[in-house]
Structure 1
């Protein structure tokens, strides 16, 4: 899902890896400031790695603090960067694996499990999760019949966020279809503010654009087939979706600053362009977490001066509902793997989810989280929609793919869609390139 980012460096051995971890912990702080004196895990440090930066990292540390207060364990958060696979591999190789990793891609979770890196969920964690998560979330965390990954944070990735004053000034209302979306965007541009801030520097945002268009146009059955690479990327349905997406990418009225500027804009920067002190666009497409960034970084109130509408239906299709999520896993060879599993048992409870829910910028797939725990009505309604969708949710397609195709900065789908943003003139050529990269990554 969303993965604001820094480059991941490979550790050069056990000593350098240890030094790097110490430096990171010093720079980022820890979540154990409120550790319970004499708690059952007193004297134990649980190291947790994840992609989160900025406000997301700050709010997750509140969850770490709650665990520390409950158990006495000290907690340290280590940013993994976008390439979680490379990061974890380097830490294992260096003999300094974190205890817990928050994995944002189903394909990477499966890769870790097949490599023998993961510890199965304890009976307590599995039972708790089985009672409060829809089966689809357990399925995404299961590899070869073994339950490894606990989905803690979910995302509703079919939301388009906008500055109400921009739409009001342009005299446009929330669009209900793709054609209305393009028309509204061009009207916005004519009023003085380009339509979309596109975060093209982060390739994962472009995969999300494609997935929403494809799910609506091609339908859920083909979406599932393409996600498993049982349908080739050269299929006409893919070319059609790319052609539709090109309607946005090729129009400088719709992309603030054009492709060149978009390719220099990361996800946090795209939110700033809409909700920051000097707005340069009226809308930003991404998941529900946009609201949290707008609130924490720019003081916007979701539902008031930061609103969203559902990603509209494309052509004759239905409005898409694409989700994503971050699964917590325990590395079995980590120094404190048992304490790490205790942390997952905590994450499986509504208590843990409600800590972040109150801070904002968070959705839980846990049906037992109290609606009143969410920070605002917008988050409350979005969370209810996600939970109500149950097994009909379609998980982010790129997150289901092998990391080499769907989850690596500068490679695979991320890079090829960045190339397509740069030059969207030949959807068939892009589809062929995507198929070649997918065939290599999937091994078929």
Structure 2
């Protein structure tokens, strides 16, 4: 659940952001992802923005202070974030330790707190988790310096998502555009396939790819969260923003006809064994990272031609030899209804041990300085409007970032991330598990709806 202040207000941005992305992603051919994982921290930020070594935010001296920050980030994403922490250490003299967390992070934090060893700061991927941390009296409000940076650098909408009962607890350090489908350019060329604009176009493209001898999709069924994102894009476009907000707050039931329609639409892809790498059983054993890498390895005969997920896919593409914009291209999630969907997500920095050092770290993460460092490393998107677009390493990311900032306060946040953790953010439970069961048996729409409603009612009723 989330506060009324963070409920999205109109569908205007769905139209605006989709239009911007359509034009932006048409430029993929002139981009190169070869720089995605290089260290650009010494590059100069243009357009009057900060540099990685600039000093646009004032930080206290913290010599001899030790801090811990927890997040579920792994691989290249974790490695890149550690460069941001290294800059904070350089400026303040503090020592920051990154603590790898497990999903659901709220449970991980609960165990740490019970043991008397909470991290100073944690990055929470769900507004519902922030609310839960506040209600458990774990989270601490951010102080005046962090608030000053937040108000200077973020739209009101991004500020509001981090509020609980009117107080600011979260700073959204990272954002995501979760309405993108990435594809193997060689496969599309060989198949004579075109980038689809509508859901029907996507089905046509999928058939063309299949006829060329390549399986159309990798679906990361082993990780429940990509399945929720699939559903949200279909539902937002098909049912519309008002219904989306109602379902996100459980003001309508999952047995609603609009949910039946969305699941039936999803089954047009999930229900075709030949359209999924490994079929339904193989998809359920495919983790997110593998779903990406197997789409961009194997030349023009990969295990799949397309993979759905957000802008952060670029980090995983960077682990292959494929280059974004040439070998790996992208198009906006096609319109299922009258308008293409745009779903956003993100990770918020929340303080769990209130101290001068913890407040300073969150202040730094709210500044353009921190976000600019990670933007230059690729595979990252910031809602901070004062990060220079030139910081992003290729035209694709620059245009996606521009579109996100242009949307201002009007956007739709990931539905499952708004839900109580027990329903929308726990592996093997709730929506994650129910959609995995649906992927296994896409013909049972009514059964999936019944499971989803039962689990949603229990979670929203308890607030957990």
CA deviation string 1:173-224 (max 9, x = no partner): 1001001101111211111111111000000000000000000000000100
CA deviation string 1:391-421 (max 9, x = no partner): 2210000000000000000000000000000
Corresponding residue to 1:284 among 307, 330, 334? 307
Task: Tell me how far apart the structure 1 counterparts of residues 323 and 402 of structure 2 sit (CA, whole Å).
Answer: 19
Judge conservation of contact 2:182–2:331 (CA < 8 Å) in 1.
Answer: yes
Which aligned pairs between 1:394-409 and structure 2 lie closer than 5 A? 394-409=412-427
Task: Tell me how far apart the structure 1 counterparts of residues 409 and 80 of structure 2 sit (CA, whole Å).
Answer: 28
Cα drift, residue 40 of structure 1: 1.5
Cα drift, residue 113 of structure 1: 0.8
Task: Tell me how far apart the structure 1 counterparts of residues 249 and 381 of structure 2 sit (CA, whole Å).
Answer: 26
CA deviation string 1:124-157 (max 9, x = no partner): 1112111211111111100011100000000000
Is 1:352 aligned to 2:357, yes or no? Answer: no
Task: Tell me how far apart the structure 2 counterparts of residues 103 and 434 of structure 1 sit (CA, whole Å).
Answer: 24
Which aligned pairs between 1:38-437 and structure 2 lie closer than 5 A? 40-277=61-298, 279-295=302-318, 297-314=319-336, 316-332=337-353, 337-437=355-455
Partner of 2:461: 443
Judge conservation of contact 1:218–1:317 (CA < 8 Å) in 2.
Answer: no
Task: Tell me how far apart the structure 1 counterparts of residues 461 and 107 of structure 2 sit (CA, whole Å).
Answer: 19
TM-score, normalised on structure 2? 0.85
Partner-residue secondary structure (3-state), 1:183: helix
Judge conservation of contact 2:121–2:353 (CA < 8 Å) in 1.
Answer: no
Structure 1: give runs of 5+ residues left out of the alignment. Answer: 1-33
Following superposition, which runs of at least 4 residues in structure 1 exceed 4 angstroms of deviation? none
CA distance 1:277–1:48, shift in 2 (3 Å) = farther
CA deviation string 1:292-318 (max 9, x = no partner): 2212x114322222111000000x321
CA deviation string 1:349-373 (max 9, x = no partner): 1110010000000000011000111
CA deviation string 1:104-132 (max 9, x = no partner): 01111110011111110111111211121
Partner of 1:21: none
Task: Tell me how far apart the structure 1 counterparts of residues 88 and 322 of structure 2 sit (CA, whole Å).
Answer: 29
Task: Tell me how far apart the structure 1 counterparts of residues 160 and 177 of structure 2 sit (CA, whole Å).
Answer: 18
Task: Tell me how far apart the structure 2 counterparts of residues 273 and 210 of structure 1 sit (CA, whole Å).
Answer: 22
Judge conservation of contact 1:185–1:253 (CA < 8 Å) in 2.
Answer: no
CA distance 1:277–1:111, shift in 2 (3 Å) = same
Cα drift, residue 243 of structure 1: 0.5
**Larger deviation, residues 41-50 vs 198-207:** 41-50
Partner-residue secondary structure (3-state), 2:362: helix
Task: Tell me how far apart the structure 2 counterparts of residues 347 and 85 of structure 1 sit (CA, whole Å).
Answer: 20
Task: Tell me how far apart the structure 1 counterparts of residues 447 and 141 of structure 2 sit (CA, whole Å).
Answer: 42
**Larger deviation, residues 130-139 vs 359-368:** 130-139
Cα drift, residue 277 of structure 1: 4.5
Aligned length: 402
Structure 2: give runs of 5+ residues left out of the alignment. Answer: 1-52, 54-59
What's the RMSD between the two structures over aligned residues? 1.3
Cα drift, residue 250 of structure 1: 0.8
Judge conservation of contact 1:186–1:194 (CA < 8 Å) in 2.
Answer: no
Cα drift, residue 90 of structure 1: 0.2
Cα drift, residue 381 of structure 1: 0.5
Judge conservation of contact 1:182–1:254 (CA < 8 Å) in 2.
Answer: no
Task: Tell me how far apart the structure 1 counterparts of residues 156 and 274 of structure 2 sit (CA, whole Å).
Answer: 43
CA deviation string 1:65-97 (max 9, x = no partner): 111111111111111122101100000001111
**Larger deviation, residues 359-368 vs 425-434:** 425-434
TM-score, normalised on structure 1? 0.89
CA deviation string 1:32-83 (max 9, x = no partner): xx9xxxx821211111110111111111111111111111111111111221
Cα drift, residue 251 of structure 1: 0.6
